[in-house]
Chain A
Amino acid sequence: MDYNTLIVLMGLLSTGSLLGGFGALVSLKGENLTADVAGHGVVSGVVVSKGLLAVLGAAWLAVPLLWVCGFASSALTLGFIFWARSRGYSAGAAQAMAIGLAYGLTLVLMSLVQGYGAFSTKGLTTLLLGDAATLSLGRILPAISMLLGAGLVFGVFWRGLMNWVLDPQSTQLQGQSSALALMWIVATVAVVLTCLPALGLTLLVGALTLPALAVRPWVRGFPALVIGSAAVGGVFATLAGWLSAGIVPLPTGALVIVTLGAVWLLSMILARGVSAVRMRRAA
């Protein structure tokens, strides 16, 4: 296995695990689309960062600008959802408005930024679909660091996190809700920003959702669901990357999602089969 393939597979392992584990929490909270909104919010920030970089002309600012602008725009988009909910809009309507406005704003900003020659339609395609095949060590380090950090945080705080996901109202009564809600927004934006280079915006939600759905019928505990989803996300994203590198000449990101979709389908069919057998035996 050559160096580049190894880097891509390591990137997919860390990205898939991070999205799988975080996706388990997102799914339990019923907030899969909120992560999508955060992704759409990030893209407009990325475009702004490219524009600022073209104006400032300081190449060393590329990564800090990307993170700052991505975080700010995504947080603003999530803030818009909270504001819309507080005005009485349903969760679905608030999310749909936020996605539509964020994407529309991205296209407008991109038209402006393209005037500086700082951003091409290829740049947008990469943001939307990802570019796992060109991952470098510098681009996968954030995902690896975040996976290790997330693992540590989960290991220490998993029970408090479980309480908050299971019954946010009870956690609010215990006085922890505000801090956890803030940490949740930061974590959502950070995960989206970290995983965008590999999978892109349109594929990211699939990688968040499918591992948890595949694992859910086979586990009965919260830690098992989160760890199992992280394992399934990481292993099958790596497998898809390996297939894409040699056996199946298809885009890596798309193959990751198709592979995870197949795992979910197989899991669902098997779970129904096992359940039917159990019921027959019980009868």
Chain B
Amino acid sequence: MNALTSMLRITDKSVSLSPEIALGVYGLSAGYGAETIVRDASFEVQTGERLAIIGPNGAGKSTLLKAVLGLIKPSAGSVRFLNRGFGAVRQHVAYVAQADEIDWRFPGKVRDLVAMGRAVHLGITGRLTATDWRAVDRALGSLNIAHLADRPLSDLSGGQRRRVLLARALVQDPQVLIMDEPFQAIDVSTREALIDVLDAFQAEGKTAVIVHHNLGDVQALFDRAVLIDGTVASVGSPQEVMASPAFAAAFGAVHQNAA
């Protein structure tokens, strides 16, 4: 029944888009094969909040995101988006993967990739209407890449790829945006463009959960932070998390002093 519902695009119209908790993760454990990477993770994200997921390399940040979204099957625990299971609200949740998870040699244009974001709102044929194409153009414009619309995917630079992936997420018109290291290896202008878009997104009362690597700007960019080190080691404001013993244990005292 669930598969049929999703194929026919029957969505739950009763979902409230402004509950207090945009994302709730409760006792989540996940990994690959027999190996558990993240154990018993629990935290909540308030609606309208911008939350950073930080942690050392290999701590399980990306694994946590994939388990939250159901891309890998959790071995324990549950996840609630907007007070519902993911299947009931999937059209309101967008995910921006790391740029290397896409085959950029694919024979397609930027416009085609960004239009993928509308697919969750379309019928079974996936045919886009004029309204959908206008939304694609708006998303491209908001990230200052309208001029790239007809460019082949293979011709994009690293920074342009990040903008295109964020445009694809925005064109979905989500309430919750999940991003995996969007600020990694980008130039200053791309960084500014991403921050502007995230500011505008948050100004609309929407929620962003972002895996973030650069500890130097967590306090400037985020309302709260979750420290992952195999489990949720600390939750709170960026200042609280970075002053916690768990942060020192995960990154060492040098990072803590620098932060």
Q: A interface vs B, CB < 8 Å? A: 28, 87-88, 156-157, 159-160, 162-163, 165-167, 169-176, 178-179, 216, 219-222, 224-225
Q: Chain B, 119-157, contact with A by CB distance < 8 Å: what is the 0/1 string?
A: 110001111100000000000000000000000100000
- A178 to B113 Cα, complex, angstroms: 21
The reply to whether A157 and B125 contact each other, CB–CB distance below 8 Å, is yes
7 A-B pairs in the complex with CB atoms less than 8 angstroms apart: A28-B106, A160-B119, A166-B103, A167-B113, A169-B71, A173-B90, A173-B93
Q: Which residue of A lies closest to B115 (CB)?
A: A159
- Which label, helix, strand, loop or mixed, suits the secondary structure of the B interface? mixed
* 9-residue interface stretch from B38-46, B94-102, B218-226, B241-249: B94-102
Contacts of A159 in B (CB 8 A): 115, 119, 125-128
Q: Which of B148-177 contact A (CB under 8 A)?
A: 152, 168
The reply to whether B106 and A222 contact each other, CB–CB distance below 8 Å, is yes
The reply to whether B152 and A220 contact each other, CB–CB distance below 8 Å, is yes
In the complex, how many angstroms separate the beta carbon of A90 from the nearest chain B beta carbon? 13
The reply to whether B106 and A178 contact each other, CB–CB distance below 8 Å, is no
B7 at the interface (CB under 8 A from A): yes
Contacts of A175 in B (CB 8 A): 6-7, 87, 90, 120
Taking A173-B90, A174-B90 as contacts, is the C-beta distance between A157 and B126 under 8 angstroms?
yes
B107 at the interface (CB under 8 A from A): yes
- 4 extra interchain contacts, Cβ-Cβ under 8 A, other than A159-B119, A173-B70, A175-B90? A28-B107, A157-B125, A170-B119, A176-B6
The reply to whether A221 and B108 contact each other, CB–CB distance below 8 Å, is yes
Taking A166-B113, A169-B101 as contacts, is the C-beta distance between A174 and B119 under 8 angstroms?
yes
- A146 to B21 Cα, complex, angstroms: 50
Contacts of B113 in A (CB 8 A): 166-167
Contacts of B128 in A (CB 8 A): 159
The reply to whether B6 and A166 contact each other, CB–CB distance below 8 Å, is no
Contacts of B116 in A (CB 8 A): 163, 166-167, 170
B33 at the interface (CB under 8 A from A): yes
**Which residue in A165, A173, A222, A225 is a CB contact (below 8 Å) of B95?**
A173
**Which residue in B33, B69, B87, B102 is a CB contact (below 8 Å) of A167?**
B102
- A156 to B122 Cα, complex, angstroms: 14
Contacts of A87 in B (CB 8 A): 33
The reply to whether A221 and B87 contact each other, CB–CB distance below 8 Å, is no
In the complex, how many angstroms separate the beta carbon of B30 from the nearest chain A beta carbon? 15
Contacts of B101 in A (CB 8 A): 167, 169
Q: Which residue of A lies closest to B125 (CB)?
A: A156
Contacts of B168 in A (CB 8 A): 170
Q: Which residue of A lies closest to B97 (CB)?
A: A169
4 closest A-B pairs by CB? A175-B6, A160-B126, A159-B126, A174-B120
